Amino acid sequence: MQIHPNVCHPNRMNIGDLIEVTIHDVAASGGVARHEGEVVFVPYSIAGEHIRARVTSLRKNFILAEIVEILTPSPHRVQPPCPYYGPRPTAPGVTMPCGGCQYQHIAYAEQLAIKKRQIIATLQRIGGIAEPPVSDPIPSPAPYGYRNKTTMQVDPRRQFIGFHAVDHRTPLDIERCAILAEPINQALTTYRAAPPPAERPYTLLLRMDTRGMVGSGSQVLEETVAGVTLQVPANGFFQVNSALTGELVAQVRQRVTAAGHRHLLDAYCGVGLFSIALAGQLDAAIGIEFDKHAVVWARKNARRLGHRHMRFFEGPVEAQMRAALELLPRDKTTMLVDPPRAGLSDAVLASVAAAALPHIVYVSCDFGTFARDAKFLLSHGYNLLGVQPVDLFPQTSHCEVVGEFKRAV
């Protein structure tokens, strides 16, 4: 039996209806408004704007709408420089906006303010923290042209090299991307002029190192951070905003130094960015990483730089923690975690709680899962000392955060 989407709302509006709303907040899904008691999300809008919008989707708990006319614009509204950006792209033949950016229509200073408000609200709602200690975000030196890596889809049958649209399905042929570093855009232009022959769709990876060299595949690049040069394969994980990676390391170093610990357990260590950058102030460090190729390069980097007091374990964090902690004094060890966007698994959280280390520094690219994990840590004897946002992802709704937790005595 098919259920009509309005069955729970007999007087609900229909798709295509025009409504007027005032935006009172901004979420990842767009500006937030209310209409006749229901929540309405309007992408590409800003708090304070009065908008005429068209209903595009009716969901159980909210409504999606698109901008028809901005009746009262925000003073923070700016003209997006990207022709693929929404709500109505200007690139020839493009009818649906790219899904990569969400905030190009907002002045950068206001983007930072929005992200701080979102982080605070998320920690309150998900983390259960009444007054989250969140500092002002550290801005990116370059709000555009900062991204040192791109992964594009190539379909030679449809002559398509680019990304997917905001619907995650429609292909967008992209000539250049406003948030990519210029050398990558230049490499993309060269590639588009003479792509290699192929019969099947494939993925194109382009990555630039701090020397400005663009590579792809397993080609080895060099990343110099805080005076330390690491070798990284182009297809390996590394922070995408080179101009702010040093600041991210500095934020971690500041907290490890203040704690007075000279031993580090670096979980999700990748190629060893944080532990190797902090090597000079540590007596011992152990990194744990599931990606065996990243572990190979972490070991190579440590060995090349003469850091004999560092070891790297391959495998899941929860499986390797016990062995790692047998080699470190628990009362003098800081644990650093930099997990993927999904945050810490239940098994890892249980291992962290059982280890009862005195100090944890948590680097996160998703403040929603960070808030969830913060709630767990606070319920297991830790206090949240502070949260420092670092805006590695301008023009998007994402933001890196560095959180610090101290175990209550």
Cβ(305)–Cβ(276) below 8 Å? yes
Helix (H) or strand (E) holding 404: strand 400-407
Where do we find the tokens 């206001």? 110
d(CA 104, CA 47): 15
Ordered DSSP codes for 204-248: EEEEE-TTS-EE-TT-EEEEEETTEEEEEETTS---SBHHHHHHH
SS3 call for 79: coil
Strand 310-314: give its sheet, edge to edge.
310-314, 284-289, 263-267, 333-337, 359-364, 400-407, 382-390
Closest CA to 144 of 178, 174, 109: 178
- Tokens representing 325 are 């902690």
Task: List the one residue out of 331, 329, 292, 330 whose CA is nearest residue 312.
Answer: 292
CA distance 390 to 291: 25
**Prior bond of 97 cis (ω within 30°):** no
- Residue 98 appears among annotated catalytic residues: no
**Among residues 88, 40, 92, which one has the least CA distance to residue 68?**
88
Which of 82, 98, 269, 365 is flagged as catalytic?
365
Where does 76-216 show beta strands of DSSP type E? 149-155, 160-164, 171-173, 202-208, 214-215
Rounded Cα distance between 260 and 3, Å, is 61
3-state secondary structure 238-296: CCCEHHHHHHHHHHHHHHHHHHCCCEEEEECCCCCHHHHHCHHHCCEEEEEECCHHHHH
Active site members: 365
